[in-house]
Chains A and B, each alone.
Chain A
């Protein structure tokens, strides 16, 4: 069975607080902080984009895995903020990690879940011996329209996972996966539009909650496992509140999700969110422990995974940079005008 050989994540150093955004729009920061369960969010520098974030995460994943990047046979990058409309981010990443040219690569898009869709593709490709290793990345530099509620959460970050079949090399086995998908108009961005739109009443219950619940229940059914059979759970986290609510609804307790709940301090990294949550959980997990991951992408769909941690995680741990350490190190707070400048909203003539 295929499994995770290595992983890496990257979150930009800049942060903007809820207070600072609320100050500009004359809103009450305390009610936003408690309503969304978010304190601050990451902001990319003007020289960072989904490709640079993906490349940084990918380099860490290669180092953590201990493999030669030239043995990677497929690279998939899931994002809704690919820097080019036509020209794959995956090719930039492959060159940045010196993966060579004997590989297949593609960019994926499914709102916030394209990175886990890539993981499913690689499970099939490695299990069938089509490739030895594959890399999937979820990375985004999401934007919220100034003044929109999404502005408090839309942030930047990403994580990369290397998938392979060799048991001895696996830090965790991907036991199985299942998905739930439907045509739901909860969130979209048309080609060329600078900012996404959201379908108000479609965003919560019919979007996020329905898809995550259905996919997770399908996984329970397929594996015969229940919430308390897992040591940890990671859900997509568009804010700090939704994952707690959906976890409760599915029978999980706070202690199962707290290690992977990162959005309250970095914001919603979109395609990066559930994968960074998984990375933070793996940072902490021990051999034999089980992790459930359910992503969500608007439009809409959820991919659910049952994962079991293996022995190799201990030996590879010395080469990993822990998510919680990375996101608290070198943090720089910026004000709203520098935030707009780094997002390209104000330019010099």
Chain B
């Protein structure tokens, strides 16, 4: 998978850490960050917020036929996590043999997402692991 290092570099903060934002006017949290709050519109007061990544599995699906980048990791699980701090976040969920189920407690981990062949960049990203 070919990608530009420039696009990797721009997104590094939200790939490594769950950096979203919070509207300090109403307390609503967002990931990925939004320019204005859905509820407050022009009254939005947006402030960057780093989520700690703890939450529970909201939905998931097991991928058996992977895309090229993940051919060596199939089958793998992707899902939506409801963070304790509010937002729903999509991500890979590591199934360590005990299965994944709805409501399962997870926390964030720092892992490799994929690599550009033998000589290209390594892409790191947060994933979710059982707590």
Binding site for B on A (CB under 8 A): 13-14, 45-49, 51-52, 55-56, 59, 83-84, 92, 95-96, 98, 330, 332, 341, 344, 347-348
Knowing A52-B124, A96-B124, A332-B96, the reply to whether A47 touches B111 (Cβ < 8 A) is yes
Q: Mark out the residues of chain B between 77 and 131 whose CB falls within 8 Å of any chain A CB in the assembled complex.
A: 94, 96-98, 109-113, 122, 124, 127, 130
A14 to B72, CA, bound (A): 17
Instruction: Provide the residues of chain B in CB contact with A51, threshold 8 Å.
Output: 122, 124
* CB <8 Å contact, A84 and B122: yes
Instruction: Provide the residues of chain B in CB contact with A83, threshold 8 Å.
Output: 122
Q: Which of under 10, 10 to 19, 20 to 34, or 35 or more describes the interface residues of B?
A: 20 to 34
* CB <8 Å contact, B12 and A95: yes
Question: Contact partner of B112 among A52, A59, A98, A341, CB < 8 A?
Answer: A52
A selection of 18 A-B contacts at a CB cut-off of 8 Å is A46-B72, A47-B94, A49-B112, A51-B122, A52-B111, A52-B124, A55-B16, A55-B110, A55-B124, A56-B110, A84-B122, A95-B16, A96-B16, A96-B110, A330-B96, A330-B130, A332-B96, A341-B72
Instruction: Provide the residues of chain B in CB contact with A341, threshold 8 Å.
Output: 72
Q: Does B64 contact A (CB under 8 A)?
A: no
* CB <8 Å contact, B124 and A92: yes
Q: Does B50 contact A (CB under 8 A)?
A: yes
A332 to B124, CA, bound (A): 23
* CB <8 Å contact, A348 and B72: yes
Q: Does B38 contact A (CB under 8 A)?
A: no
Knowing A13-B96, A330-B130, the reply to whether A47 touches B122 (Cβ < 8 A) is no
* CB <8 Å contact, B94 and A45: yes
**Shortest distance from the beta carbon of B67 to any chain A beta carbon, whole Å:** 13
Given contacts A47-B112, A348-B71, 12 further A-B contacts (CB under 8 A): A45-B94, A45-B111, A46-B73, A47-B111, A48-B111, A48-B112, A83-B122, A98-B17, A330-B96, A332-B97, A347-B72, A348-B72
Q: Mark out the residues of chain B between 9 and 64 whose CB falls within 8 Å of any chain A CB in the assembled complex.
A: 12-13, 16-17, 50
Instruction: Provide the residues of chain B in CB contact with A13, threshold 8 Å.
Output: 96
A271 to B33, CA, bound (A): 38
**Shortest distance from the beta carbon of A343 to any chain B beta carbon, whole Å:** 11
A332 to B98, CA, bound (A): 9
**Shortest distance from the beta carbon of B79 to any chain A beta carbon, whole Å:** 16
A59 to B111, CA, bound (A): 13
A52 to B124, CA, bound (A): 8
Instruction: Provide the residues of chain A in CB contact with B13, threshold 8 Å.
Output: 95, 98
Residue in B closest to A63 when the chains form the complex, CB atoms: B52
Residue in A closest to B114 when the chains form the complex, CB atoms: A47
A47 to B97, CA, bound (A): 15
Instruction: Provide the residues of chain A in CB contact with B96, threshold 8 Å.
Output: 13-14, 330, 332
A56 to B94, CA, bound (A): 15
Knowing A55-B110, A96-B110, the reply to whether A47 touches B16 (Cβ < 8 A) is no
**Shortest distance from the beta carbon of B89 to any chain A beta carbon, whole Å:** 17
Instruction: Provide the residues of chain A in CB contact with B12, threshold 8 Å.
Output: 95
A255 to B93, CA, bound (A): 41
**Shortest distance from the beta carbon of B66 to any chain A beta carbon, whole Å:** 9
Residue in A closest to B108 when the chains form the complex, CB atoms: A59
Residue in A closest to B12 when the chains form the complex, CB atoms: A95
**Shortest distance from the beta carbon of B33 to any chain A beta carbon, whole Å:** 15
Closest 7 CB pairs of A and B: A47-B111, A47-B112, A55-B110, A332-B96, A96-B16, A332-B97, A52-B110
* CB <8 Å contact, A56 and B16: no
A344 to B113, CA, bound (A): 15
Residue in A closest to B98 when the chains form the complex, CB atoms: A332
